[in-house]
Structure 1
Amino acid sequence: MVGGGGSVYWGARGSGFRGVVVIFAWVSIQERHLRSYVELYASLGWNSLVCHAGFLNAFASEKAMSMAIFVLNELLKELQIKPCPVVFAAFSAGSKACMSKVFQDKYGLVRNCVSGHIFDSGPVDFTSDFGSRFTLPSTILKRPVPAKVASLIVKGVSSGLDALYLTRFGAQRAEYWQNLHSSVCIGAPYLILCSEDDNLAPYQTIFTFAEDLRGSGADVKLVKLRGSSHNGHYKHYPIQYRAAIASLFAKAASIFSQRFQRLEEERTRMGSKYDEISELICDLQNAAVNSNQSLRRVATGPSDHFFLPSSVNDGYAASGSSDNERKESSNLAQNAPGISAHSILGQMLFDICVPKNVEGWDIKFSGSLNGQPYACARKLSPSRDIKSIRRSRL
């Protein structure tokens, strides 16, 4: 991605890498300076995905979000091939120009892989005073112009930013700090490198940010250097800087390993539960099939019958069924596979509660279903029993 919004490219992309560092930079740091950080990470076995945001990205939220989505998609392609630990490294205003929008992503794989954060000369706060000293490109400030002209340019930029902050950028500034603090939910350690002599990224602002992260339970290492300028910590303290980066990379690799080990254990546990549920469903289906086969044998011919009370059974047997037929039907009923209708599974399959005692039920065949007679049953009321007795006496 190359354009007015900046550029995104792979600074180093070796095959035997240990992880990926996503570099978020702004126009305040030049490409040749970024190259030294790419080489540092590569010497430690980490690839680098560079996001060099344009000037307006720090002030236009839409441009920052567009670049964040592009970075996430590019990173996701790499992680789908080989999941690995990911460290976000923000330089100067790169945290505002793109990085803060990345924390709003919904990519589960990316969030699971993020295992560390680096802030070099930041995070910076955006105020009108900051704009007057920082937003002007360094090329303009270095040009040989009269002091009055340079002063007018600075005042003009400052007053313009004041007007913008009173309307739109005030809400963006609050969202920016909220997004940075929300990164604690990822559960990754922080490395913050700063200097007391950095006027563009005041130490007090960075110290307050680090304390807020610690108060939220984050693992924060604050490295305060002396005499180094904005974005110049690695240049002035290369050995100490490299040791701090290597320590964070080791933490990130350990956290990534533990995190994915837990995920694999959860997947294995969920897989075993899924197998148990599948077996139970298969058993229920087999029981239902067997039960349906048993029910199809009921009332499929003149000789088939329900098991009725003795008095009714004798009367039905006298109507035409022979002893041999009844024996065969009884053997089929005893040998037929099925389940108990009074069990919990039986009630679930038949959706009824079958009574254990059917004495007193008037069961008779009425009509036919698909050419076959079917039985219906209803319980006699006490009054009907009395009427039947009276009629028999008459």
Structure 2
Amino acid sequence: MITTLLIITFIIGFIIIRLSRMAKNGQNKTSLNNQRKNSDSQLKFIDIDHQLPRRNFALCPLELNGGGGQVGKTTTTKKLVIIFGWLFAQDRHLDKYRKLYLDLGFDVLTIRTDLIQLLFPTFGSQIMMLKLIEFIRKNQNQYNQYIVHAFSVGVYVMGESLVLMKQNRNKDVRDILRKQWKGVIIDSAVDVNEGPIGLAKATTTNFLLQILIIILISFYYIINYPLATRHYLESSRQIHINPYNCPSLAFISKDDPMVNHDDHIKTFEKHRNNGLIAIVKSWNQSQHVAHYLKYPDEYRSILIKFLDNVM
């Protein structure tokens, strides 16, 4: 049974990945040269795990990038923001968020998950989250305040870390974060139910390809429940219950088809009723993961006010 599931999973996953690559190649064909010019970040990074490429897991230290008011200070502990990027996020897109946090005195750890790592969580996203847990363990004397900023399907990846930290072997990291995790910001969060639509729209603007990908991923959910879907559901549950009672801020829009707007409102109302800081900023019109681009001053102001309250 497991062997059959693995074979079917591989076949469907392979088809989805091939469709994704075909769609992305088609979209990028006319502007490939411009993308090559703009694809690399202008910031300085440290590769912190030789088993993962910088695209997936990289640290952008404050000292190397001249950001914020902490430059030149001799503090022994620092602040870290962990950014979980959206699917296909490029450096030139993420840099505006990195620079924002660098200016606020944070080191920036960026985690990006590829499509294959999302489709096969036990061999992909969960392995990356074990790397994150180990990073926190190794650097517990380096950082004394943590913030998480997760985008789109990156919110699911963050949820995988919550699941893994329930294990007894990770109790030490769980205890660290109970004291030092100061807040979580989610931007355009895609939950498991919106996953097929979110992945399809992130992959291509071709309507027929979107429909095909939605059908394939929905079937993938059904046939691959033991190996993938149950992990998506458990990650979603951990995010909804907020096991660390962490202050939270959500950026969403009412016209984003990849986001369950009403679910955000209800979840955050529940957290507020439990005495937690839970803020939702909802715009009437704003594209998926493009709120900062459209409303930069308002986005930055709300974010900084939230950080001032929780730090």
Structure 1 and Structure 2 fold alike (TM over 0.5)? yes
Q: Is the contact between residue 82 and residue 147 of structure 2 (CA under 8 Å) also seen in structure 1?
A: yes
Corresponding residue to 2:222 among 166, 171, 174? 166
**CA deviation string 1:112-157 (max 9, x = no partner):** 21111100111x1223x6424533654x54xxxxx7xx61x33332
What SS does structure 2 have at the residue aligned with 1:249? helix
Aligned in 2, Cα 1:101/1:111: closer, same or farther, shift over 3 Å?
farther
The one-letter amino acid of 1:160's match is L
Partner of 2:180: 113
Please give the root-mean-square deviation of Cα atoms over the aligned residues, in Å. Answer: 2.6
Q: How many residues align?
A: 239
Alpha-carbon distance in structure 2 between the residues aligned to 1:225 and 1:102: 29
Partner of residue 134, structure 1: 199
Is contact 1:4-1:54 (8 Å) kept?
no
Please give the alpha-carbon distance, in whole angstroms, between the structure 1 residues aligned to 2:53 and 2:201: 17
CA offset digits 1:10-67 (Å, max 9, x no partner): 1333365851110011324322111100000111111111111111333322111110
8 Å CA contact 2:159–2:238 kept in 1: the answer is: yes
2:159 to 85, 90, 100: 100
| Structure-2 change in CA distance of 1:12 and 1:229 (3 Å) | farther
Amino acid at match of 2:187: D
Q: 1:309-348 alignment to 2 at 5 Å?
A: none
Equivalent residue for 1:78, pick from 139, 145, 151: 139
Letter in 1 for 2:216: G
**Structure 1 Cα separation of the partners of residues 102 and 305 of structure 2:** 15
Aligned counterparts of 1:5 and 1:246: Cα–Cα separation in 2: 28
For residues 59 and 4 of structure 1, the distance between their equivalents in structure 2, rounded to whole angstroms, comes to: 19
- 2:112 pairs with 1:52: yes
**Using a 3 Å threshold, how does the CA distance of structure 1 residues 111 and 68 change in structure 2: closer, same or farther?**
farther
Give the distance between the partners of 1:195 and 1:71, measured in 2 at CA.
30
Aligned to 1:69: 130
- What amino acid is the match of 2:133? L
- Matched residue, 2:42: none
Alignment partner of 2:87: what SS?
coil
Q: Does the CA contact (< 8 Å) of 1:103 and 1:182 recur in 2? A: no
Q: For residues 244-265 of structure 1, what are the alpha-carbon distances to aligned partners after superposition, in whole Å with 9 as ceiling and x for unaligned?
A: 2212222332xxxxxxxxxxxx
Aligned partner of 1:322 in structure 2 is none
Alignment partner, residue 12 of structure 1: 61
SS of the aligned residue for 2:112 comes to strand
Q: What residue identity is the alignment partner of 2:177?
A: V
The change in CA–CA distance for 1:79 and 1:130 in structure 2 (over 3 A counts) is closer
Matched residue, 2:254:
196
Whether 1:235 aligns to 2:293 is yes
Q: 1:181 to 1:217 in 2, by over 3 A?
A: farther
Structure 2 unaligned runs (5+)? 1-48, 64-70
2:93 is aligned with what amino acid? H
Question: 3-state SS of the aligned residue for 1:103?
Answer: helix
Structure showing greater Rg:
1
Partner of 2:101: 41
Cα deviation, 1:169-223, whole Å, max 9, x if unaligned, reads 542332122111343x323211111111212213223223322333444210111
Letter in 2 for 1:48: V
The AA in structure 2 aligned to 1:74 is: F
State whether residues 162 and 235 of structure 2, in contact with CA within 8 Å, keep that contact through their aligned partners in structure 1.
Answer: no
Q: 1:6 to 1:68 in 2, by over 3 A?
A: farther
In 2: Cα distance, 1:251 partner to 1:8 partner = 29
Residue aligned with 1:79, SS:
coil
Aligned residue in 1 for 2:12: none
Q: Structure 1: 5+ residue runs without aligned partners?
A: 142-146, 254-394
Q: Which has the higher contact order (CA 8 A, sep 6+)?
A: 2
8 Å Cα contact 1:79/1:110 also seen in 2 = no
CA distance in 1: counterparts of 2:246 and 2:186, whole angstroms: 13
C-alpha distance in structure 1 between counterparts of 2:279 and 2:58, whole Å: 29
Correspondence 1:206 to 2:264: yes
**Residue pair 1:189, 1:251 contacting (<8 A) in 2 also:** no
The answer for the alignment partner of 1:289 in structure 2 is none
Aligned mates of 1:130, 1:110 — CA distance in 2: 28
Contact 2:200 2:211 in 1 (8 A): no
Give the alignment partner of residue 149 of structure 2, picking from 56, 80, 89. Answer: 89
